[in-house]
Amino acid sequence: MFSTYEAVEVGATTTHGEYEMTREEILTFAEQYDPQPFHTDEEAAESSLFGGLVASGWHTASATMRLVVDGILEDSGAMGAVGVDELRWPNPVRPGDVLSIDVEILSKEPWREGIGVVRTRIDTVKTDGEVAQSYVGRVLYPMTGE
């Protein structure tokens, strides 16, 4: 979306999506990366805090990243990310949920020689309007001085 640090518009808000979280992908991801019973076992999940199978938060974060890349970073000047603050999972993602992202550019400032850092709020929203995940990311962009 933005080719350089200078092109980044603080205050801009956009929406991108969709990503469907299928039961099969929830199970495949969890078996490899997060094999807790409420992510891998329907029956065990029924008696968990969630009352049914839910996606790993890291799966939601990864699917969100795909929406970020397709919606914002592809063909942009983004050089990588420093990190993420306040990553929260306020509502669980269940099989069949379709995710989209609400993006807000919060701020930008110089980071190192020729590179700036952009703070962006990314909310991951389900079709029913519930926020499944939120965080503030810090992404690097080249500064051209123009």
Residues at the interface with its own copies (CB under 8 A): 29, 32-36, 38, 48-50, 56-59, 61-63, 65-66, 69, 73-74, 78-89, 115, 135, 140
User: Least distance from C-beta 40 to its own copies, angstroms?
Assistant: 10
Least spacing, CB of residue 128 vs its own copies, in Å: 20
Q: For its own copies, give the closer residue by CB, 11 or 68.
A: 68
Residue number with CB closer to its own copies (17 or 57): 57
Residue 122 β-bridge partners: 103, 135
Beta carbons of 124 and 131 less than 8 angstroms apart: yes
Q: CB atoms < 10 A from the CB of 120, how many?
A: 22
Rounded Cα distance, 95 and 1, in Å: 31
We find the least distance from the C-beta atom of residue 127 to its own copies, in angstroms, to be: 20
Q: Which long-range contacts (CB under 8 A, 24 or more apart) does 42-51 make?
A: 50/92
| CB-based contact 69:81 (threshold 8 Å) | no
Nearer to its own copies, 104 or 136 (CB): 136
